[in-house]
Structure 1
Amino acid sequence: MLRLVHETATLRLARPFRISGYVFETAEVLVVTLDDGTHRGRGEGAGAYYLGDDLANMQRQIEEARGTIEAGITRDALRTAMPAGGARNAVDAALWELEAAQAGVPVWRLAGLGSEPQPIVTTFTIGADTPDAMAASARDYAEAKSIKVKLTGELPLDLARVAAIRAARPDIWLGVDGNQGFARADLAALIDGLAQHGVSLLEQPLARGAEAELDGFRSAIPIAGDESLLTLADVAPAKGRFDVVNIKLDKCGGLTEGLLMAAEARRLGLGVMIGTMMATSLGTAPGFVLGQIADLVDLDGPALLAEDRQPGVVYRGGMLYAGPEVWGSGQHTPA
């Protein structure tokens, strides 16, 4: 038998974070602990705000599944026992860490990685603001090698934002995230303007549900699907519409599903990106494992917080590293 405990935490952001249609100042997460009387596993889930997957929903889902989980459940069985989302992500992460502790091997080895995880380049995200303020933020990320910019669907203003950031940081890889804020009629002008400023990725320009509008569209910049691509079932239909699959563990329900999505994307010739909702280092560490096999990594959640949990991930020289002390070491972890 397992014992399941869950609690909540409110994360304060270092500053308000604006995207298309939403401003974040805090984020609530669900923290799950599983123990078998000897070992324990931990996981954190934030859910997806645009799906209504809030704290109350996550708590309800986990209580509905409590009996099944505590009776003993595999990570594969969890994929059908709970719906995809933040609660399942938290439980899945706890099962990975628990299994690693029971086996005495680190999570990365259980996940089938061929070698110990290494630091990886991650994007640092700039929320929507005035062009001057966003350019200042880009300069503040002095060590960043990769920056992602939140746009709002205001086409002339958005292009001015990108131009200001590119002028401030001509050296970086630059991507933009539309967060569903644009219309199909905007795309040609948007992509032409972005290409002029050396933008390398356009993420989720159209609303979830409007994916068919990308059929036959040819873009000079790779387009990534985020809100449109939640779980493994969404990867195959992405072919011909998106070039890159943005996997977020809070959308798909955990690292177990995320690894399956990455494998399917590779099979279809699509790029693999790993992203995050607002998260502490505990919520970021499973994504770091998947990030070892991704083309693009966007795991800056802890960098946006006023305070992270400790021990935490390390950001240095534009790179991210989640050491074994953060999560999933495979060492004995007392229950």
Structure 2
Amino acid sequence: MHIQAKPHSIALATPFVISRGARTHCHTVHVTIQHGEYKGVGECTPYPRYGESVESVIEQIQSWTEELSALSPIDAKQRLQQMPAGAARNALDCALWDLIAKTDEQTFPSPYFEIESAIETAMTVSIGEPEAMAEQAKGYARLGATLLKVKLDGEQIVERVKAVRRASPNSKIILDANEAWSGLDLEFLFEELLPYNIAMIEQPLPSVNDELLSSISHPIPLCADESLHTRKELSKLRERYEMINIKLDKTGGLTEALLLEKEARELGFSIMVGCMLGTSVAMKAALPVATRAEIVDLDGPVLLGQDEENGLKYHSGQLHL
């Protein structure tokens, strides 16, 4: 096999603002794996929160290339699971899934997985003044969105949620704090948010402090994101969260994501499938888990100025193959 990793940068349609700052570009790594006449494609988005960069991920992939190139695609996929989880492993794992399907004269994810023809996905409202966030929500509602993911930091939380709810009264709303609610009275805040019919709150505290959640009443379900990468973290999260967010860039690919989903359900967790910013190449790889998830947040391509050719289609709050 011949493995190649290249950087790929895409301008966002509009600036994307979360609690950690604003972004104007999506920086990804594209991987191609050639085996005979067949070529598999994968993509990852390195995340600085986890100590990753485009350069570090490409270096990591290159350090594995000699060993993996000497193997068959199936053996390489098995060997890859012994490598550290993260964006580099994800791009390779997903490229191998795609390659193996093509050598079988198939198109991933068919026929290995049955995927719903239309999957509801969250549309992301990034941080701004309450009025600006309300306008984002209205825009999505006009396009038929039924699920909104509202990004928040530690300021104007209730005011922003109230504005979004007024702007989109019929949408399901989930909140994403990205670890930004340290120092707040969470029990009081959760009670303040109850009237706004919030379906779930994602990662209110930093992962190093989320043990505090086990002693805090939370009438709104909580979802672990930064606190959960692979199956290794599951057991310690049971008293803190009701849901986990599976992202392939955290699990190190679809192979681990499928095992994580199975074990999490056995432990009683509900499943959310999320994404970093990325193209339809990355979103397609997550569909085998997303098709069964309670909440799906795979709107990465919607936020980009340009998606890959023959990408997923987004309309009326759903994604379509």
Greater shift in the superposed pair: 41-50 or 127-136:
41-50
Which of 99-108 and 135-144 deviates more? 99-108
What residue identity is the alignment partner of 1:77?
R
Q: Name 1:258's counterpart in structure 2.
A: 257
Corresponding residue number in structure 1 for 2:169: 170
> CA offsets, 1:57-101, max 9 Å, x none?
101100110111211243232111x21111111101100001111
**CA distance in 2 between partners of 1:271 and 1:77 (Å):** 29
Question: What's the CA shift for 1:186?
Answer: 2.4
Matched residues in 2 for 1:289 and 1:19: separation? 27
Query: What is the 5 A alignment of 1:244-283?
Result: 244-283=243-282
Paired with 2:102 and 2:307, the residues of 1 have a C-alpha distance of 24
- Matched to 2:179, the amino acid is Q
SS of corresponding position for 2:98: helix
1:75 counterpart = 2:69? no
How many equivalent pairs are there? Answer: 316
Report the counterpart of residue 31 of structure 2 in structure 1: 32
Q: Distance in 1 between matches of 2:283 and 2:48?
A: 18
Per-residue deviation, residues 260-316 of structure 1 (Å, max 9, x unmatched): 111011100100110000101111111122211111100000000111111111011
Query: Partner letter of residue 303 of structure 1?
Result: V
RMSD: 1.4
TM-score (norm 2): 0.95
Match of 1:212 in 2: 211
- Please tell me the residue identity of whatever aligns with 1:243: E
In the aligned structure 2, how far is the partner of 1:249 from the partner of 1:282?
12
Do the aligned partners of residues 234 and 110 (structure 1) sit closer, same or farther apart at CA in structure 2, a change above 3 Å counting? farther
Gaps of 5+ in 2: none
**1:45, CA displacement in angstroms?**
0.5
For structure 1, which segment, 128-137 or 96-105, has the greater mean C-alpha deviation from structure 2 after superposition?
A: 96-105
Higher mean C-alpha displacement, 212-221 vs 303-312: 212-221
Counterpart CA distance in 1 for 2:298 and 2:8 is 19
> Counterpart of 2:289?
290
Q: Is the 1:245–1:273 contact (alpha carbons within 8 Å) kept by the matching residues of 2?
A: yes
Report what 1:203 is aligned to: 202
Paired with 1:273 and 1:179, the residues of 2 have a C-alpha distance of 15
The alpha-carbon deviation at position 49 of structure 1 amounts to 2.1
Per-residue deviation, residues 171-206 of structure 1 (Å, max 9, x unmatched): 000010000001264211221122111111100000
Aligned-partner SS, 1:24: strand
Q: Alpha-carbon deviations, 1:200-244, whole Å to 9, x = none?
A: 110000002112111233311010000010112112221111110
Instruction: Trace 1:295-310 onto structure 2 (pairs within 5 A).
Output: 295-310=294-309
Alpha-carbon distance in structure 2 between the residues aligned to 1:38 and 1:161: 53
In structure 2, how many angstroms separate the alpha carbons of the residues matched to 1:189 and 1:130?
Answer: 22
* Partner SS, residue 319 of structure 2: strand
Name the SS for the 1:183 alignment partner: coil
> In the alignment, is the contact (CA less than 8 A) between 1:127 and 1:134 conserved in 2?
yes
- Aligned partner of 1:150 in structure 2 is 151
Query: Using the alignment, how far apart are the partners of 1:48 and 1:231 within structure 2?
Result: 16
For residues 301 and 109 of structure 1, what CA distance do their matches in structure 2 show? 22
Instruction: Give the aligned partner of residue 220 of structure 2.
Output: 221
Q: Tell me the CA shift for residue 116 of structure 1.
A: 4.3
- What code does the residue aligned with 1:117 have? E
Match of 1:63 in 2: 62
- Equivalent residue, structure 1, for 2:86: 85
Distance 1:38 1:117, change over 3 A: farther
SS of the residue corresponding to residue 8 of structure 2 reads strand
How far has the Cα of 1:146 moved from its partner? 0.2
Q: In 1, distance between residues paired with 2:84 and 2:21?
A: 25
Q: Following the alignment from structure 2 to structure 1, what is the Cα–Cα distance between the partners of residues 267 and 197?
A: 27
C-alpha distance in 2, partners of 1:177/1:220?
Answer: 16
Q: Secondary structure at the match of 1:108?
A: coil
| Distance (Å, rounded) in 2 between the aligned partners of 1:289 and 1:14 | 27
* Distance in 2, Cα, partners of 1:301 & 1:116: 19
Structure 2 match to 1:183: 182
| Contact 2:45/2:278 (<8 A) preserved | yes
Question: For residues 143-180 of structure 1, what are the alpha-carbon distances to aligned partners after superposition, in whole Å with 9 as ceiling and x for unaligned?
Answer: 100001000012xx111000001001100000100000
Q: CA deviation at 1:109?
A: 4.8
Whole-angstrom distance in 1 between the partners of 2:239 and 2:85: 25
Is the CA contact 2:187–2:217 (under 8 Å) kept in the aligned structure 1?
no
Report if aligned partners of 2:202, 2:223 keep a CA contact under 8 Å in 1. yes
Distance 1:286 1:245 in 2: 18
Please state whether the residue corresponding to 1:11 is helix, strand or coil.
strand
